[in-house]
Amino acid sequence: MWGNKKKPKQTAQIDSLIGQNSEIHGDVIFKGGLHVDGVIKGNVIAEEGTDSVITLSERGTIEGEVKVPNVVVNGTVIGDVHALTHIELASEARVHGNVYYSLIEMAMGAEVNGNLVHREDSVVHLKPSAESVGNSNDDKKSSK
């Protein structure tokens, strides 16, 4: 009675759903919970400052970069994944790109064709600001 103080497992609320027979061409910017059973050909970005979650089912595919605080992958991602807080790679996960993470869970059978890069700080800008765009041009000039 007193020893059973386990927290109930929290499930992410789904605010948006991309169905199995859907294909999106272009970037998807969201907040809250996004569940993907279909195909996204573009980047998937969570609004900055949110604790958003993306769940990619075994039927889902993303061809682009993923920048979301909490990521659950059981499908295919062709591009880099930036999980600012937590990433879970389930047994059917296939990532063809680099995975940037703070905390990672990886099931037997999951596959990453790229680098696993641990990030100690969770300060990664999800959307480029006007300042960083201006500075990137300066960096290119100075590196020549």
State how far the Cα of 64 lies from the Cα of 23, in Å rounded to an integer.
13
User: What is the structure's pLDDT at 50?
Assistant: 87
Residue 2 domain flag: no
10 in any annotated domain: no
* Domain that includes residue 22, residue range: 16-142
CA distance 120 to 94: 24
Mean pLDDT of the chain: 84
- Could you tell me the pTM of the whole model? 0.76
Three-class SS state of 117: strand
Q: How far is CA 86 from CA 2, 34, 35, 39, 137, in A?
A: 30, 15, 16, 22, 32
Q: Taking the mean position of all CA atoms in its chain, how far away is CA 112? A: 14
Report if residue 50 sits inside a domain.
yes
Establish if 99 belongs to a structural domain: yes
Structural domains in the chain (count): 1
Model confidence at 78, in pLDDT bands (50, 70, 90)? very high
Per-residue pLDDT band for 12 (boundaries 50, 70, 90) equals low
> How much of the chain, in percent, has pLDDT values that exceed 90?
69
Q: Are strands 39-41 and 61-63 parallel, antiparallel or unpaired?
A: parallel
Residue-wise pLDDT tens digits, 91-144? 999 999 999 999 999 999 999 999 999 988 655 455 554 444 444 444 444 444
Tell me how far apart the alpha carbons of residues 73 and 60 are, in angstroms, rounded to a whole number.
Answer: 9
3 found inside a domain: no
Report the run of H or E that residue 104 belongs to, with start and end: strand 104-106
Contacts 24+ apart (CB under 8 A), 10-14: 12/53, 12/55, 12/70, 12/72, 14/55
**pLDDT mean over 8-12:** 46
Q: Is residue 1 part of a domain?
A: no
